C-alpha cells in the first residue's frame, strides 16, 4: 500500500502541474492535456477533497508504513498546495472582469432599472454541485424548428415563466470544432442566469461537418437570427434586441455572424432579412483561419479545416478562407464586443484572441471589451465553477448595459 500511495502522489502532482502550467503546441498530447487541465482547474476544490479521501484510506490501510508512503503523502501535500493556488488564481478573475467592464463603460457603470438584477457573487450551491443547471422560475421550450433539416435546424428557448414585457434575446451557438456538439451541451450556466433575470436565451443547432461545408454553418446561424426576427414575438421575445454568444467553434460563428450582416452570400434565400446583432460575446473562439499572426505554429488547424470544414485549400481559394475568418470583417460598423479567453487555453490559443481584439479596436466605433481569464482552459464555463460564476455575472452586466443603451435611443 505504501508503494500505491507513492504512485498516487506522483500522479496527483503531475495532474496538478497540468492545471498550473500552460500547454502550447504540444502535438498529440494536446487533447488529454486539455481535458485534465480543464477538469482539474475548474474543480480544484473537488480534486483536493477526492485526493485527501483516497490518501486517508490508503494511510489507514498501512500506506505510511515506510518512507515510500510518507514520500507519497509529501507529493500529495504539494498537489494540494498547487490546487489551492489554482483556486486562488481563479478568484482573481473578479478583478480582471471589473477592470474590463470599467474600461468599456467607465467607472460610473450603471443601468437604471436593470443593474439591480445583476449578482456580484457566486452561490455556494453552484460550487458544491457544479453540474446542476436548472433554476426555479425558468422554463425551457425544446426542439423548435427554425429550418427544414430536422434536429440540426432545431433550437431550444430558455425564458422566465413569468413575463411582463418582450424579452431581450441572447442567441447561443455551441462549439465542437464544427463537427460535433449540440445545443443542449454548452452555456447553460449563462443561459439559466439570464433567463432568471428577464432574458430570452435561444440555443441553436446547425449543420455539422464533414457532411456540411463552409458556409453551411454560418448560414444556419443566420437562419436562427432570421427566425428570432420573424417568430420571436410569438414566444415573448423582443426581435429588436438580439445579442449572440458562443464558445470555440461557436465563438468563431457568433463573431462571424456579428461582423457579416451586410453579406448576402452568407444568407442565400433570405438575403433581405436583417441578421444584424446588437452585441457579441465570443468565448475562446478561432478568429483567423489563415493564422496570419502565427499563433498556432506547431499546432496548426489548417489540415483539419481544409479536409473537414472548408473542403478547399487556402492557396487556391484564399477568398473563401478570408470569408470564413472573423478578423477579415472587422469594420467601423461592428457591434459592441466582449471577447473572453483563458490564458491557459490549449486548443484555441490566446494569442489569436489578442490579434482579433487589436484589429477590432483599431476599427470599431463601439466598445470592445477583452478579458483574459487567469488560468482558464478551453470550455471553462461549461459547468459551474468560481471562474464560471464571476464570468457569467460580468457577461450579464455587459449585456444589461448594451441593452440599456439600446432602450435609450429607441
Catalytic residue annotation: 248, 345, 378
165 class by beta-carbon count within 10 Å (0-12 exposed, 13-18 middle, 19+ buried): exposed
User: C-alpha angle 382/383/385, rounded to 5°?
Assistant: 120
DSSP 341: E
Bridge partners for 371 per DSSP: 340
Question: Which grid coordinates belong to 193?
Answer: 442566469
- CA 399 – CA 118 distance, rounded (Å): 10
Q: Is the peptide bond before 50 cis (omega within 30 degrees of 0)?
A: no
DSSP string, 127-147: HHSTT----TTEEEEEEEESS
- CA 232 – CA 229 distance, rounded (Å): 6
Q: How many residues does the chain have?
A: 410
Question: Which grid coordinates belong to 292?
Answer: 496570419
Please report where in the chains the cell 483539419 appears, as a residue.
304
At 311, give phi and psi (nearest 5°). Answer: 70, 10
- CA 305 – CA 55 distance, rounded (Å): 45
Q: State the maximum Cα–Cα separation within the chain, in Å, rounded to a whole number.
A: 77
Beta-strand runs (E) in 13-119: none
Q: Are 348 and 38 in contact (CB under 8 A)?
A: no
Q: Among 121, 160, 154, 153, which Cα is nearest to 138's?
A: 160
At 12, give phi and psi (nearest 5°). Answer: -60, -45
Query: If residue 168 lies in a helix (H) or strand (E), which one and from where to where?
Result: strand 167-173
- Edge to edge, the sheet with strand 337-342 lists 138-145, 154-160, 200-204, 167-173, 237-247, 279-283, 337-342, 368-373
Query: If residue 183 lies in a helix (H) or strand (E), which one and from where to where?
Result: none
Q: Are 100 and 370 in contact (CB under 8 A)?
A: yes
Q: Are 36 and 18 in contact (CB under 8 A)?
A: yes
Amino acid at each position: 500500500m505504501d508503494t500505491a500511495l507513492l504512485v498516487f502522489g506522483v500522479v496527483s502532482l503531475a495532474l496538478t502541474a497540468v492545471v498550473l502550467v500552460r500547454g502550447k503546441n504540444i502535438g498529440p498530447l494536446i487533447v488529454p492535456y486539455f481535458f485534465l487541465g480543464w477538469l482539474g482547474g475548474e474543480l480544484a476544490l473537488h480534486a483536493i477533497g477526492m485526493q485527501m479521501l483516497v490518501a486517508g484510506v490508503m494511510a489507514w490501510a498501512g500506506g505510511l508504513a515506510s518512507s515510500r508512503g510518507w514520500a507519497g503523502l509529501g507529493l500529495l501535500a504539494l498537489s494540494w498546495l498547487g490546487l489551492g493556488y489554482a483556486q486562488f488564481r481563479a478568484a482573481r478573475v473578479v478583478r480582471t472582469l471589473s477592470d474590463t467592464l470599467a474600461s468599456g463603460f467607465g467607472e460610473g457603470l450603471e443601468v437604471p432599472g436593470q443593474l439591480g438584477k445583476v449578482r456580484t457573487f457566486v452561490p455556494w450551491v453552484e460550487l458544491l454541485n457544479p453540474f446542476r443547471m436548472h433554476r426555479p422560475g425558468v422554463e425551457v421550450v425544446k426542439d423548435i424548428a427554425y429550418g427544414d433539416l430536422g434536429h440540426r435546424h432545431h433550437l431550444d428557448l430558455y425564458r422566465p415563466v413569468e413575463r411582463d414585457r418582450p424579452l431581450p434575446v441572447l442567441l447561443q451557438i455551441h462549439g465542437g470544432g464544427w463537427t460535433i456538439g449540440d445545443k443542449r451541451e454548452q452555456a447553460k450556466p449563462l443561459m439559466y442566469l439570464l433567463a432568471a433575470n428577464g432574458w430570452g436565451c435561444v440555443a441553436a443547432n446547425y449543420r455539422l461537418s464533414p457532411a456540411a461545408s463552409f458556409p453551411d454553418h454560418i448560414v444556419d446561424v443566420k437562419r436562427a437570427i432570421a427566425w428570432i426576427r420573424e417568430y420571436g414575438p410569438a414566444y415573448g421575445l423582443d426581435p429588436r434586441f438580439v445579442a449572440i454568444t458562443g464558445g470555440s467553434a461557436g465563438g468563431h460563428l457568433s463573431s462571424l455572424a456579428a461582423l457579416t450582416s451586410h453579406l448576402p452570400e452568407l444568407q442565400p434565400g433570405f438575403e433581405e432579412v436583417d441578421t444584424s446583432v446588437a452585441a457579441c460575446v465570443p468565448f475562446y473562439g478561432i478568429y483567423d483561419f489563415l493564422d496570419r499572426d502565427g499563433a498556432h505554429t506547431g499546432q496548426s488547424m489548417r489540415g483539419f479545416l481544409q479536409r473537414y470544414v472548408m473542403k478547399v485549400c487556402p492557396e487556391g481559394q484564399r477568398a473563401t478562407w478570408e470569408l470564413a475568418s472573423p478578423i477579415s470583417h472587422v469594420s467601423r460598423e461592428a457591434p459592441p464586443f466582449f471577447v473572453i479567453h483563458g490564458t491557459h487555453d490549449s486548443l484555441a490559443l490566446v494569442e489569436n484572441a489578442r490579434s482579433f481584439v487589436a484589429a477590432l479596436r483599431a476599427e470599431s466605433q463601439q466598445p470592445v471589451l477583452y478579458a483574459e481569464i487567469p488560468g482558464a482552459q478551453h470550455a471553462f464555463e461549461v459547468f459551474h465553477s468560481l471562474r464560471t460564476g464571476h464570468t457569467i455575472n460580468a457577461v450579464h452586466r455587459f449585456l444589461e448595459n448594451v441593452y440599456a443603451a439600446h432602450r435609450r435611443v429607441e
